[in-house]
Amino acid sequence: MNRILPILFSLLISSSAYAQHNISGHLKTQITFTDFRAQDLQNVLGSKNSLSNQLDFRLNYEYMHDRFKFDAQTEALSLYSNALDTQRSILNQNPFALSQSLLINDRRRLFDLTNEFQDDTEVTSVVRLDRLSASYLGDQTVLKVGRQALSWGNSLIFQAIDPFNPFSPTEIDKDYKTGDDMVYSQYLFESGADIQAIVIPRRDPLTGNLNGDQSTFASKFKGTLSDFEIEYDLVAGRHYDENILGIGISKPIGEALWRFDASYTEINSGNNIWNIVTNIDQSWVIRDTNVYGYLELYHSGLGTSENNYQTIKPALLDRINRGELFTIGKNYLASGLRIELTPLVNFYPVNILNLADRSGFAQFKIQYDFLQNTSLLIGLNLPYGDRGTEFGGIPTGTGSYLTAGTSGYLRLSFFF
């Protein structure tokens, strides 16, 4: 042992001369005030309004040597709210809200890398590893093992072929997708095409046992049709014991970019469903002002018809609980703009419309990058629609309505 330690130490010193170490991260705090109407469920349970403060500290470490890479990213998350007990009560009682855990947990993941170190009437806090992986990066092959994030598809707001911890359509912070424990491989063809394959083992959240029926096995081929300026994806896999086929297409149309994703799923109930997303986006310069805009249409094959929100399909509820779907209707139109008011100030209006019941969710935010690594975000979230609609208030059956409430927030972010 006395001889081995100096040898290992000298190898570490010599290898460090050719290695790259990168450290980055962020610190974010967000204060949110939410107001609820008289018959909103939160108000009925005793919270006419709520004041919350979220803290998010993230530290990323990356080590690269030759063709090998190691990633470790930890995060500490804390939520204070004077209505925390009301939120817990809703999560425990209402099937439409089961996907929204107060903070991230690892109940379904292969490894439990989350520690909840505080959980009382007004504060809940966790510290966790969101990335922990080792990679081999070859000229044509990539192999990555461990906790990592993966995104497939061409969607902007909704998703059809990306069930791997997708962002909620109303999420305001999309810097980091939540990681999963997986094995990822990729082969790059000389033509520029590539094929990816993944295995994501998961546990049954009720028993804690590793379960193949809860896991994902999938592959994706990406290719191009150069003569038609088309890029396409072909997806096949088994996800939570259901077969999935998918296709994605993107093509420039003039100065805009058009995208299309569709998935076909054989669900366990015996029915087969299609999920479809198509969008188009473009950038302009209008009177010396940079403007970016998009439109996106989404069809959910499991969506519930208008005025029938109390009879939700079990397969839809499963996806809500897993955090794969966040809406319960069939057809949606999303639109958004980014308007550069000054080089440091951007305005973002966004609207999500349920095309059946005409309810929607409007968001307005202004981002001010007042320092090189620091930004201030101020925003409003405004659900609208009649009672009994998805965003105006889903009836609970007890005379109250489940809704997000009208909220305003202020978020300060520092990056390093």
Q: Which residue shows structure tokens 């990213």?
A: 73
In a domain, 8, yes or no: no
In a domain, 142, yes or no: yes
Q: pLDDT band at 94, cuts 50/70/90?
A: low
The first and second tokens of residue 16, run together, are 């460090």
Mean of pLDDT values over 34-46: 93
Q: Can you list the positions of beta strands (E) in 36-67?
A: 49-65
Q: Return the percentage of the chain with pLDDT > 90, whole number.
A: 83
Q: pLDDT band at 310, cuts 50/70/90?
A: confident
Least confident of 71-80, 301-310, 376-385: 301-310
In a domain, 1, yes or no: no
Q: What is the pLDDT of residues 20-33, one digit of tens each?
A: 999 999 999 999 99
* Cα–Cα distance, 195 to 141 (Å, whole number): 10
* Cα–Cα distance, 405 to 40 (Å, whole number): 8
The answer to whether residue 377 scores a pLDDT higher than 80 is yes
The answer to whether residue 11 scores a pLDDT higher than 50 is no
Burial of 258 (0-12, 13-18, 19+ CB in 10 A): middle
Q: pLDDT band at 99, cuts 50/70/90?
A: very low
Q: Can you list the positions of beta strands (E) in 82-122?
A: 114-119
The first and second tokens of residue 41, run together, are 């469920």
Q: pLDDT band at 6, cuts 50/70/90?
A: low
The answer to whether residue 14 scores a pLDDT higher than 60 is no
* Cα–Cα distance, 355 to 92 (Å, whole number): 30
pTM, two decimals, is 0.90
CA angle 362, 365, 370 (to 5 degrees): 175
Domain at 139, CATH number: 2.40.160.100
DSSP state letters, 294-341: EEEEEEETTPPPTT-TTS--HHHHHHHHHTS----SSEEEEEEEEEEE
In a domain, 13, yes or no: no
What pLDDT score was predicted for residue 12? 46
The answer to whether residue 218 scores a pLDDT higher than 70 is yes
What pLDDT score was predicted for residue 82? 93
In a domain, 2, yes or no: no
Could you tell me the maximum CA-CA distance found in the chain, to the nearest angstrom? 77
Higher pLDDT, 7 or 248: 248
In a domain, 134, yes or no: yes
Find the helix or strand (DSSP H, E) in which 315 lies.
helix 314-322
The answer to whether residue 272 scores a pLDDT higher than 60 is yes
Closest CA to 52 of 126, 127, 122, 120: 122
* Cα–Cα distance, 50 to 32 (Å, whole number): 8
Sign of CA dihedral 65, 71, 72, 75: positive
Contact 22, 62 (CB under 8 A): yes
Mean pLDDT of the residues in the chain = 92
In a domain, 224, yes or no: yes
Q: Return the percentage of the chain with pLDDT > 70, whole number.
A: 93
Mean of pLDDT values over 114-136: 95
What pLDDT score was predicted for residue 92? 75
In a domain, 6, yes or no: no
Mean of pLDDT values over 159-188: 96
What range does the domain containing 104 cover? 20-415
Contact 130, 179 (CB under 8 A): yes
Q: What is the count of structural domains for the chain?
A: 1
The answer to whether residue 194 scores a pLDDT higher than 70 is yes
Q: What is the pLDDT of residues 316-358, one digit of tens each?
A: 989 998 999 999 999 999 999 999 999 999 999 999 999 999 9
